[in-house]
Amino acid sequence: MKKIRILSVCGSGTISSAMISQKLAEALRAEGYEMDAVEVNNGQIQNALAAAKYDCICYASPVHGDFDIPCINAIGLLTGMDEEGVIEAVLEVAKSLQ
């Protein structure tokens, strides 16, 4: 199974980022991908990126900076508006890893 590593970001680094991770894991599994995710808040992004390699950042609260990996606004996974668009953007990243 192909694997993608995602840094999931929200304001507190707990509830919303965990919900984003869960929804993405289900969608990616259905497409044949295994997902490894770490949930953080905005202040923890730099440390997380220094500690491990991630393929993209999916965020529910704005992230600022140039991280050299795709940053995907994942608020749609929480609101239900354009969930498919968020999932498609993450799938594009996953497919580019091969």
Domain layout of the chain by residue ranges = 2-96
Q: State which amino acid sits at residue 85.
A: G
List pLDDT tens digits, range 18-57. 999 999 999 999 999 999 999 999 999 999 999 999 999 9
Within 10 angstroms of residue 49's Cβ, the number of other Cβ atoms is 17
pLDDT at 1: 78
CATH topology of domain 2-96: Rossmann fold (3.40.50)
Q: pTM (2 decimals)?
A: 0.94
List pLDDT tens digits, range 74-89. 999 999 999 999 999 9
DSSP assignment of 50-90 equals HHS--SEEEESS---S--SS-EEE-THHHH-TTHHHHHHHH
Taking a C-beta distance cutoff of 8 angstroms, is the pair 61, 14 a contact?
A: no
